[in-house]
Amino acid sequence: MSSLKKIKTALISVYNKNNLAPLIKRLNKLNINIYSTGGTQKFIEDLGVKVTSVESLTTYPSILGGRVKTLHPKIFGGILSRRSNENDKKEINNYEIPEIDLVIVDLYPFKETVANGAKEEDIIEKIDIGGISLIRAAAKNYKDVLTISSRNQYNILLDLLNKNNGEISIEERKIFARQAFNISSDYDTAIFKYFNNDNPNVFKESISNSTTLRYGENPHQQGIFFGEFDKMFDKLNGKEISYNNLLDIDAAVRLINEFDETTFVIMKHNNACGVASRTKLVEAWKEALSGDPVSAFGGILITNKKLDTETAIEINKLFFEVIIAPDFEKEAFEILRQNKKRIILIQKEFNLPKNQFRSLLNGVITQNSDLKTEKENDFKVITKHTPSNNNINDLIFANKIVKHSKSNSIVLAKNKKLLASGVGQTSRVDALKQAIEKANSFDNNLDGGVMASDAFFPFGDSVEIAHNAGITSVVQPGGSIRDKESIDFCNNNNMSMVFTGIRHFKH
């Protein structure tokens, strides 16, 4: 059975006062005594509402430039006193400490201050001490005290006050206490990460925003996304985004970010099954699709250019789950939205995280994101034959794709088009054979094409197989004790090969 408790006294000390006025007026109508500090006190007085300054209660002024205002036994005693504890009652009566039933705090905007690139002294001053202490104290004593720990809760409290005429149940107080500790831990984590930015030996993350997904990778698994999807995308159309959709969207975004020229990418199960760069977007689409039109069915489409009507007409012929672009022509959008379930996303400008983490065994592993993308000046020609200009462009193109393909991976490309790839294989030879077989099955001519490998060739057999299929140039990290076998084969068979010195495993 709910235990309702009437609020008689409130302490209010907030940074953000938006939407606070209606709440203050309601507290006043309920004859709730209000204590407050500094700017909040003035805000309340300007509303014509009676308020008692904290200083008059503690008999201490706000000191140290506002760093110390509420940190006093008469404040924390009133919050932490247990109403059913006789010793607590005697002590607060003896020291003339008023019981405080409601604490409303909105913390200094530490995260926002850091994100805005403020100076260190300004960032330090946005570390809230009194506010976070008030929140923790009130939440600890939720059996007697209600904690409002964010401006996002002002309207929620107002509704509760209206509903129960100023009385709050213990169940409601416990919910707010849980939210308060979530906010305080998130706040502390943000501060710790600011101070710990160059120490990789401690792992802390706090993500408050979450979305429950239809299910996880499979229907019998629960799935939740923790993050702010809306900061990265505008969703214009379609069904609810799934767990697997998110994995493919992440992979698609990371790959398309490698390209500046007009490019279309088709993703399937975290791997590219179609990629092409062309002057016109519609041609990029057609070439990308022709690489593997079978795997493209039900895939994720992404481009780095505004999607025009001509291209929309063509891609609308295919069944696919998601399409992502920086913008859509109006008519193009109208064509694509005809499928009500089709997810249409506008990709906003944003920076991907510089670090990655994932759960593993009974812990977490972290690493720096793979932000290295090789250019021509990173290539070291190690054969007698030098790649042609066309080969160089294709080697750069293929190397970008292999970087974002599941290991072991081989990518075959020509004229800035993905001809085929072999991904997720237990041997590099198997990956190459898979890629050649797929290219041939779709009549993608490998003659004069290039090959990219995500890691070195342990033997010379892969280069020989590629040569027999028509490949003329190779990019790989190098570093095998048998590198000479591959180099010698290239030299003896009019092939060129470049080393990058950079491995791009993706597990």
Write the pLDDT tens digit of every residue in 18-48: 889 999 999 999 999 999 988 898 999 999 9
Q: pLDDT tens, 145-161? A: 999 999 999 999 999 88
Instruction: State the fold for domain 228-347.
Output: Cytidine Deaminase; domain 2 (3.40.140)
Confidence bin at 270 (pLDDT 50/70/90): very high
What residues act catalytically?
140, 269
Helix (H, G, I), strand (E, B) or coil at 390: helix
Pairing relation of β-strands 52-53 and 102-106? unpaired
Q: Which positions ≥6 away from 307 have C-beta within 8 Å?
A: 281, 323, 325, 327, 328, 329, 332, 336
Residue 83 has pLDDT above 50, yes or no: yes
DSSP structural state of residue 388? P
Q: According to the model, what pLDDT value does residue 373 have?
A: 94
Question: Burial level of 36, CB count in 10 A (0-12/13-18/19+)?
Answer: buried
Q: Which positions ≥6 away from 309 have C-beta within 8 Å?
A: 329, 331, 332, 335
| Tokens of residue 344, six digits | 């249409």
- If one counts every other C-beta atom within 10 angstroms of the C-beta of residue 319, the result is 11
CATH class in words for 377-499 = alpha beta
Which CATH number does the domain 4-195 belong to among 3.40.640.10, 3.40.50.1380, 3.40.50.720, 3.40.50.150? 3.40.50.1380
Which residue intervals of the chain bear CATH 3.40.140.20?
A: 228-347, 377-499
- Calculate the alpha carbon distances from 197 to 189, 192, 303 in Å: 12, 8, 34
Residue 397 has pLDDT above 60, yes or no: yes
What percent of the chain lies above the pLDDT cut of 70? 99
Interatomic CA distance for residues 128 and 68, integer angstroms:
10
Question: Mean pLDDT, the chain, as a whole number?
Answer: 92
Q: According to the model, what pLDDT value does residue 2 have?
A: 53
Q: According to the model, what pLDDT value does residue 79 have?
A: 93
226 vs 63, residue with greater confidence: 226
Strands (E), 121-219: 146-148, 167-169, 210-212
Question: Burial level of 204, CB count in 10 A (0-12/13-18/19+)?
Answer: exposed
Residue type for 211, please?
Answer: T
Q: Which of 383, 390, 386 is nearest to 463 (CA)?
A: 383
Predicted TM-score (pTM) of the model is 0.84
Cβ proximity of 154 and 16 under 8 Å: no
Q: According to the model, what pLDDT value does residue 273 have?
A: 96
Q: pLDDT tens, 104-126? A: 999 988 888 988 888 888 889 88
Long-range Cβ contact pairs of 223-228 (< 8 A, separation 24 or more): none
Which residue intervals of the chain bear CATH 3.40.50.1380?
A: 4-195
What percent of the chain lies above the pLDDT cut of 90? 71
Residue 127 has pLDDT above 80, yes or no: yes
Q: According to the model, what pLDDT value does residue 432 have?
A: 96
Q: What is the mean pLDDT of residues 379-383?
A: 96
Q: Which helix (H) or strand (E) holds 189?
A: helix 170-195
Cβ proximity of 277 and 232 under 8 Å: no
DSSP structural state of residue 40? H
Cβ proximity of 383 and 497 under 8 Å: yes
Q: pLDDT tens, 311-368? A: 999 999 999 999 999 999 999 999 999 999 999 999 998 888 888 889 889 998 888 8
Helix (H, G, I), strand (E, B) or coil at 434: helix
Q: According to the model, what pLDDT value does residue 468 have?
A: 96
- If one counts every other C-beta atom within 10 angstroms of the C-beta of residue 480, the result is 16
Q: According to the model, what pLDDT value does residue 1 have?
A: 42
Q: According to the model, what pLDDT value does residue 254 have?
A: 95
Q: Angle of helix 130-140 relative to helix 170-195, nearest 10 degrees? A: 140
